[in-house]
Chains A and B, each alone.
Chain A
Amino acid sequence: MLAYILRRIFQSLIVLLAVGFVAFAMFSFVGDPVDNMLGQERTQADIERLREQLGLDQPFIVQYWRFLEQAAQGNFGLSYRQGRPVSEIIAERLPATVELALVSGFLAFIGGVGLGVFTAIRRHGLLPSFIMTASLVGVSLPTFLIGILLIYIFSVELGWLPSFGRGEVVDLGGWTTGFLTASGLKALILPAITLGLYQMTLIMRLVRTEMLEVLRMDYIRFARARGLTEKTINFRHALKNTLVPVITITGLQLGSIIAFAIITETVFQWPGVGLLFINAVQFVDIPVMAAYLMMISVMFVGINLIVDVLYFAIDPRLRIERSVGGH
C-alpha cells in the first residue's frame, strides 16, 4: 500500500514537472518580458541590468530550476496588470470557485447517482424514459447556453434569483464564503446548476450503465436465489459494486468542474479564478496564466491520487493483491 502510494506520488511529480515546463515556457516564448517592462526610452545598459536582475542571463535550465523553486513556494511573481503578487490575487479568488465547484459537484453526484440508480432499477416506464431523454439534452447543450437559459427564466422572467455575482460574502480569516448569507446562497443556485448539469447527466448515464451491468452478474442472481429483498440487492449488493468505477470518474470530474468553471464564471460574472484567468488571457498577464495552469494541474494530479487511494477503501481485492505483489 505504502509503496503503491509512493509510486503514485512520484508519477504525479513527473506530471507536475512537465506542466511546470509548459508554464515556464510561456514566459520565454510569449514575447520578451523585458520589452514590456521597460518603456520606449531604454538603454542597452538598462536591459542588461534588468536581465541580470530577473535572472534572464542565466542558462535555460537554471532559469527553469529557479521558476520551479519559486513555484513550489507558491511564488509566481507579480501580475503584469495589477502589480500585486499573483499568489495573493489567486488566494482572494479561490474561495468563490471552490465553493461553486463543491456545491455543483455535490449536486451532480447526488442527482446523478440517484437518477442513475432509479433509471437502472425501473428500466421500463414513462418517467425513466423521460429522464433518459432529458439527460441527452443535458449532455448535448453547451454550458453557456444552459446558463443563459437559466438566467432568462429565473432572473429575467421570474425575477427569483440574481443573474450575476456572488451576493454578500462573509470573510472568515481570508476565506470569503457565500454560504452564510441568504443572498450568497441565492446567487449560488443558478451557477451551481449550470456547472453541475452536464456532470450530473454524465454521472447518471454512467451509473445506469454500470448498474445494469452489475445487475446481470451471478452474485446478484445468487442474492436473489437466497431470497434477499430487492432493496438489499439493489442498494447493498449492486450499488456498492456500481460505485467503484463511478468514483473514479466523479473524482476526475471534480477536477474538470474547477478547471472548466471558466465558462460558467464568465456567464454569471462569478468572481472566481476562472474569470480571473479569462481576464488574464485578454491582457496577456502571463504570471497569472502560469500560476493558474500550475494550480489546475496540481489539483488534477492531487485528485487522481486521492481517487486511487479511495479505490483501496472500497475494493478489498486491491488491498490484498498489491501487498502480495510487494513481496
Chain B
Amino acid sequence: MVQPVLSIKSLVVEIPTRKGVLRPVDQVSYDIFPGEILGIVGESGAGKSMTGNAVIGLLERPARIVSGNVLLSGNPIHNLSASEFRKIRGKKIGMIFQDPLTSLNPLLTVGEQLVETIIEHLAVSKKEAQERAIAALEEVGIPAARERIGSYPHEFSGGMRQRVVIALALCAEPDFVIADEPTTALDVSVQAQIIALLKRLCRERGVGVMLVTHDMGVIAEAADRVAVMYAGRLAELGAVRDVLTAPKHPYTYGLMGSTPLASRGLKRLKQIPGSMPRLGALPEGCAFSPRCDFAQEVCKTGSSPFIADEDAQAACWFPLQHTKLRSSK
C-alpha cells in the first residue's frame, strides 16, 4: 500500500479564551495520498482553514494543537520546533492562499519572490534559481515568463496572480500542498482554469493536495475524495462520487440539497434550518442534532457519536441509507 503523504490522526486544536476552551478542530483524522486531491468542505467557521493552518504550523496564538498526530510522509511534524518547522514549510508543504491580490508582496517583483523562496530551500546558485523561477512560471502557464519575471504583482491580472501564487507554493517542489480557498476570490471563468492547473500539477508531480473550499462545484470538479466538516468535527469522509450522490450524514445531505445542480431542475432550493452553533455553545451529543430532520433521542444525549474516519465514513448514529437521492430531491 502506498504511504500517505499526509496523515492526520485525531487532531485537536484548542483556543483558550476567557469564557472557556474552544475546540475549532476536534478529533479530525484523514489521510492524503500522493497525487490525490482531498477536498475539505464546510461552512465558515467549521474548522477547515484551522486544520490547514495546524498542518503547516501557522496557527496563530493562542490556538494550539493539544493532541493528535500529523505525519508527513510518515514523520511526525506536529511537535517540531519553530525553526525546524520553517525548514519544511515551502520545501515539503506548500500553501496557496485565498486572495491572490493580497498574498503577493507588492514591493517585490514576482521573480524576486520566487528566487528568494528557491534559494531558501534548494542548494542552487542565484543564476540557477532565476532559471528555475522562469521554469516555474512557465509551468503554471504565464506567457512570456522570461520577460515577465521582472514584473511586479500589480502588473498581473487576478487569475495570473493566482498562477504566480501557485508557482511560488510549488517552486521548492513540496510533496504536499494546502490550497486554502484558491478560487474563491476569482472570476468563475478563471476558477475553472486554476482548478484545471491544480489538477494537472497534482497529477504530474504526484503532489498530495488538501483543497479547502466551501464551493461544492469546485469539489465535484477537482477532488478525488471529500471530507465534510461541521463545527470542528469531521461529519463525513468518502470518495467524491459517493458523498455527492449518496451522502450518509444528514448534514451532507442538507448541504447537497442546498446546492443548485443542473440535473435537479429549477425547483426551490432546500435550506438547512438554523445555523451552525458557535464553538462556545455546542449542543450536547451530535453538534448537528438541533438542525437535523432525522435526530432522535440518542443524538441529543451526552454520549457523543462515533467519529468519521477512513473506516466509518459518517459521524452519525443513523447514516442515511438511500439509493436514489438524485431523483427524489
Contacts and interface: CB of A to CB of B under 8 A. Distances in A.
A227 B106 CA distance: 19
Contacts of A223: 105
A219 B105 contact: yes
A225 B56 contact: yes
A226 B112 CA distance: 13
Instruction: List the 6 shortest-distance A-B pairs measured between CB atoms, nearest first.
Output: A227-B90, A227-B89, A225-B95, A218-B102, A226-B90, A222-B103
A244 B172 CA distance: 31
Nearest to B109: A316
Given A237-B108, A316-B107, A222 B168 contact: yes
A320 interface: yes
B89 to A, nearest CB: 4
A314 B152 CA distance: 12
A229 interface: yes
B310 interface: no
Count class of interface residues, chain A: 20 to 34
Given A237-B108, A316-B152, A316-B154, A226 B103 contact: no
Nearest to A214: B105
Contacts of B120: 226-229, 232
Interface in A217-254: 217-219, 221-230, 232, 236-237, 240-241, 244
Contacts of B117: 226-228
B108 A226 contact: no
Interface of B: 56, 58, 86-91, 94-95, 97-99, 102-108, 116-117, 120-121, 152, 154-155, 165, 168-169, 172
Given A232-B116, A316-B107, A225 B94 contact: yes
A320 B56 CA distance: 36
A244 B105 CA distance: 13
B86 A225 contact: no
B97 A314 contact: no
Contact of B58 (A224, A229, A244): A224
A315 interface: yes
A317 interface: yes
Nearest to A240: B107
A224 B89 contact: yes
Contact of B121 (A227, A232, A240, A314): A227
A7 to B, nearest CB: 23
A222 B88 CA distance: 14
Nearest to B100: A218
A226 B152 contact: no
23 contacts: A218-B99, A218-B103, A219-B103, A219-B104, A219-B105, A219-B106, A221-B58, A224-B86, A224-B89, A225-B56, A225-B89, A226-B90, A226-B120, A227-B91, A227-B120, A227-B172, A228-B90, A229-B120, A237-B108, A240-B107, A244-B107, A317-B154, A320-B155
A227 B103 contact: no
B107 A315 contact: yes
Contact of B97 (A221, A241, A320): A221
A190 to B, nearest CB: 38
Nearest to B168: A226
Nearest to A314: B107
B154 A217 contact: no
A244 B89 CA distance: 29
Contacts of B95: 222, 225-226
A315 to B, nearest CB: 7
A226 B170 CA distance: 9
Interface centre among A217, A225, A232, A237 (most CB of B within 10 A): A225
B74 to A, nearest CB: 20
B134 to A, nearest CB: 18
A242 to B, nearest CB: 10
Interface string A309-327: 0000011110010000000
Contacts of B90: 225-228
A241 B87 contact: no
Nearest to B114: A226
A230 B120 CA distance: 12
Given A226-B169, A227-B87, A315-B107, A219 B102 contact: yes
Interface in A241-272: 241, 244
Contacts of B98: 218
Given A218-B97, A317-B154, A225 B102 contact: no
Nearest to B154: A317
B154 A222 contact: no
Nearest to A228: B120
Contacts of B107: 240-241, 244, 314-316
A298 B184 CA distance: 51
A133 B102 CA distance: 34
Residue in A219, A226, A320 with the greatest tally of chain B CB atoms within 10 Å = A226
B100 to A, nearest CB: 9
Contacts of A230: 86
A241 B117 CA distance: 19
